[in-house]
Amino acid sequence: MCETAYGKLERIYLGGEAEVRIYENVVEKIRKPKRYRHPKLDEILRRSRTKTEAKIISLARRNGVPTPVVLDVEGDKIVMERIRGKPVKEVMSTEISEKIGRYVARMHKAGIIHGDVTPMNMILSGDKIYFVDFGLAFIEDRVEPKGVDLHVYFESLKASFDNWEELKEAFLRGYRSEYERADEVIKRAEEIELRGRYVERRMT
Ligand SMILES: Nc1ncnc2c1ncn2[C@@H]1O[C@H](COP(=O)(O)OP(=O)(O)OP(=O)(O)O)[C@@H](O)[C@H]1O
Ligand SMILES: [Mg+2]
């Protein structure tokens, strides 16, 4: 592919929210316009969400969670370090899930809600697990959204791995080991799961 200031453009991901361009050494993430919104409002929202995402990537890093270094933020675009490694989905283990639990605990202690804790958004590089996607992240210190973070992760385990129960236990070990309010959040995650089941039953 074509040669640019960032080196060769190797791959492009077209997600729901963003276009992600993977170059030799850097990654560009550009938030896509939403056609149903007024263009001016859409531009304001995209800029502000891009800024929030970049801020939270750096905040997480300062709180001991491996994330890419942010190199530049420009309108609706973030330029960041490219993390080389394997998608966590391909290398998942109890050891890795326990570590994810520790990192999510660090985010929650700092008041960061990730918003999309799934193996698709993490990369294993060396002995670190990098969180690369903070597109849905926000700052909150209530128990409910923290419970939702856990619930979303457990659901993603169920959908992808036969040994999801083991992986869930490993995550909880890691989460408890670094967060004094862990039990409160874990209890809430269980309640959220029950609420979900109740709704499912009513709809069938
Ligand atoms: N810094 C990075 N280094 C290496 N690969 C990355 C990096 N950022 C993203 N990627 C790759 O690109 C894919 C898509 O990126 P990301 O998850 O941020 O976008 P998205 O899911 O479309 O965004 P959103 O969840 O905000 O809609 C990731 O799953 C990952 O494989
Ligand atoms: Mg993603």
> The domain that contains 14 carries what CATH number?
3.30.200.20
Cβ of 13 closer than 6 Å to ligand 1, yes or no, is yes
Residues 29 and 90 in one domain: no
Q: What is the CATH number of the domain that holds 144?
A: 1.10.510.10
Residues 92 and 182 in one domain: yes
Nearest listed ligand to the Cα of residue 20: 1
Three-state SS at 2: coil
- C-alpha to C-alpha distance for 140 and 122, rounded to whole angstroms: 22
Name the residue among 112, 123, 116, 106 with its Cα closest to residue 63: 106
Name the residue among 7, 11, 10 with its Cα closest to residue 25: 7
Residues 55 and 128 in one domain: no
What integer pLDDT is reported at residue 17 of this predicted model?
Answer: 86
183 in catalytic set: no
Final residue of a structural domain among 61, 81, 101: 81
Mean pLDDT by 10 residues, the chain (204 residues): 81 92 97 90 94 98 98 97 97 98 98 97 97 97 98 98 98 98 98 86 70
User: In what side-by-side order are the strands of the sheet with 128-131?
Assistant: 86-87, 122-125, 128-131
Average pLDDT in the chain: 95
Give the helix ranges, DSSP H, for the chain: 39-62, 88-91, 94-109, 143-160, 164-178, 182-203
Name the residue among 21, 13, 17, 86 with its Cα closest to residue 53: 17
| 54-153-115 Cα angle (round to 5) | 30
Cβ of 29 closer than 6 Å to ligand 1, yes or no, is yes
What integer pLDDT is reported at residue 197 of this predicted model?
Answer: 81
DSSP 119: G
Residues 28 and 124 in one domain: no
Residues 16 and 74 in one domain: yes
Residues 116 and 157 in one domain: yes
Residues 126 and 58 in one domain: no
Report which residue type is found at 73: V
Domain that holds residue 166: 86-203
What integer pLDDT is reported at residue 9 of this predicted model?
Answer: 95
Residue-wise pLDDT tens digits, 110-120: 999 999 999 99
- C-alpha to C-alpha distance for 77 and 84, rounded to whole angstroms: 21
Residues 168 and 123 in one domain: yes
Number of domains in the chain: 2
Residues 136 and 72 in one domain: no
Residues 26 and 107 in one domain: no
Final residue of a structural domain among 81, 97, 113: 81
Provide the strand spans (E) within 44-120.
70-74, 77-81, 86-87, 112-113
Cβ of 82 closer than 6 Å to ligand 1, yes or no, is yes
**Residue that has been written with the tokens 């128990």 in this structure:** 143
Three-state SS at 71: strand
Residue-wise pLDDT tens digits, 142-161: 999 999 999 999 999 999 99
- C-alpha to C-alpha distance for 19 and 24, rounded to whole angstroms: 16
Final residue of a structural domain among 39, 60, 81: 81
Measured by CA distance, the residue closest to atom 17 of ligand 1 is 133
Q: Which atom of ligand 1 is nearest to the CA of 11?
A: 12
Quick one: residue 115, left, alpha or beta (phi over 0 = left, psi -120 to 50 = alpha)?
A: left
Residues 179 and 104 in one domain: yes
Residues 113 and 153 in one domain: yes
